[in-house]
Structure 1
Amino acid sequence: MIAQFNRFVRNGAGLEKFLRLIQSVAQIAAVFSVGSTAVRLTTAKLQLALTRRYFRFFGFIESFQRVSALLNKEGMGSVPGWIDLAKWTCFGLYFVLEDLTMLHAMGVYMVPWEERVMREANQFWFYALSLSLLGAIYALLSPPRASKSQNEKKKGKKTEKTAPTTVNSSALVKQIVVDSCDLLIPAELLDWYPTGDLVLGVTMVLSTLLTGQDIWSRV
């Protein structure tokens, strides 16, 4: 257990999830605290949130790489393909806009447009999570498609189709739960659906444990 935890926190994604868990617990604890204790817990929450931004600073690279791969993918015209394309485009724009305000968040170089840019970034974050949720629901409700063999793909040849591709329902349900929980964060930041720190903290704990479980099993 200790060795696996060591591997988990030495992994970049695992460490980010661990910090996110501490941040969400601090947010919940701050709700039930008063005075200087509440101030310290809120400060810890904000500092952990800033620390986690370093982990996703170059997240736009992977997002736009996925966009490029989707554009070059055969059969891009499908509904899931268009959803993924829009999703990763929104994620990439979110990361880029958030990165533009990093020096402001660090207190190094203050800019008057930070609030406006972060609002746009959170809007793209909301759109990306909404598209991710939509894609998972679509994949869960869509009937399984029969996969084709390599010979069948060749023009002019007819072969039998293989068995329908199976859908990992449990993974899709988990993604739906995670996206639904995370969707409340930008909605709260944008004042579109205010829920309060307690609800956000609880949903962050749930989504962090679900996503961290996959990383834990890999390491």
Structure 2
Amino acid sequence: MIQQFSRFVKSGAGLEKTLRLIQCVSQVVAALTMSSALAVQLTTVKLQLALARRYFRFFGFIDSFQRMSELLGKDGFGSVAGMLELAKCTCFGLYFVLEDLTTLHAMGVYAVPWNDRVMDQANTFWFYALSFSVIGAMWALLVGPAEQLPKENGKGKNQKTASEKATPVKPTAASARVKQIVVDGCDLLIPLELLGWMPTGDMVVGSTMVLSTLMTAQVIWARV
């Protein structure tokens, strides 16, 4: 147990999830506490950990744009699933880039007057990325098997019907899709709160962050 925890926090993804869990727990406790002094301290912890976690995703745009390039070179526009994945990667890439532009401001190194405007745009792309991710997972769960059917020319004695050729989503794949929908659905509340589109408060946002963090951390934990 201790050795696995050590491997977990030594991995970049595991350490990021650990910091995220402490951050969202601090946010929940700060919202519940009656002590203003403690609330200020916990809010400081939350903000500092949020800044620290930005360093882990500083180069996240590379993977997003690389995935975009792969989709454009294959069938990014050849299917609904491909278009949803392409839109998701594009929005995530733009989110990472825009957030990176404000890193020095967030660190207090170089203040810029356009920080708030850029972060609003970054969070907007984050919202779109998570939305496309949820829609893509639902599409793959409900429509994916039928969409992946090979096109038939209508000839041949052994030709099967579409319903015969359709293979259901494997249980493990279906479970992963459902988990993705829950995790991304929880995280959708964060940009909605930051943008003021659907203010839910620190308590609700922090609680959903705890849930999504534990679910994603479980996957990383099993892998290390």
TM-score normalized by the length of structure 2: 0.89
Q: Which amino acid aligns with 1:8?
A: F
Alignment correspondent of 1:122:
123
Q: Secondary structure at the match of 2:18?
A: helix
Aligned Cα root-mean-square deviation (Å): 2.2
1:169, CA displacement in angstroms?
Answer: 1.3
1:79, 1:163 → 2: CA distance? 17
Whether the 8 Å CA contact 2:17–2:213 is kept in 1: the answer is yes
1:32-181 to 2 correspondence within 5 Å?
32-33=32-33, 34-74=35-75, 76-142=77-143, 144-145=145-146, 164=167, 166-167=169-170, 168-181=173-186
Residue 210 of structure 1 corresponds to 215
Matched residue count: 213
- What is the identity percentage for the equivalent residue pairs of Structure 1 and Structure 2? 67
Q: Name the CA distance, whole Å, in 2 between partners of 1:46 and 1:2.
A: 29
Q: Distance in 2 between matches of 1:20 and 1:143?
A: 32
> What does residue 20 of structure 1 align with?
20
CA contact 1:187–1:194 (8 Å) conserved in 2? yes
Say if 1:159 and 1:76 are closer, same or farther in 2 by CA, change over 3 A: farther
- Residues 147 and 165 in structure 1, CA contact (< 8 A), matched pair in contact too: no
Q: Offset of 1:77 from its aligned partner?
A: 1.2
Unpaired runs of 5+ residues, structure 1, are 153-157
How far is the alpha carbon of 1:5 from its aligned partner?
0.4
For the residues of structure 2 that align with 1:88 and 1:171, how far apart are their CA atoms? 19
Secondary structure in structure 2 of the residue aligned to 1:48: helix
Q: Note closer, same or farther for the CA distance 1:75–1:104 as it changes in structure 2 (3 Å cut).
A: closer
Rounded to whole Å, the distance in 1 between the matches of 2:214 and 2:174 is 19
Aligned-pair CA distance for 1:81: 0.1
Deviation at 1:65, TM superposition (A): 0.5
Instruction: Give distance in 2, aligned partners of 1:35 and 1:131.
Output: 39
2:124 and 2:195 in contact (8 A); partners too:
yes
For structure 2, list consecutive stretches of 5 or more residues without a partner in the other structure.
152-156
Q: Deviation digits for residues 10-50 of structure 1, max 9, x if unmatched?
A: 00011000100000000011012222111110000000000
Tell me how far 1:164 sits from its aligned partner: 2.7
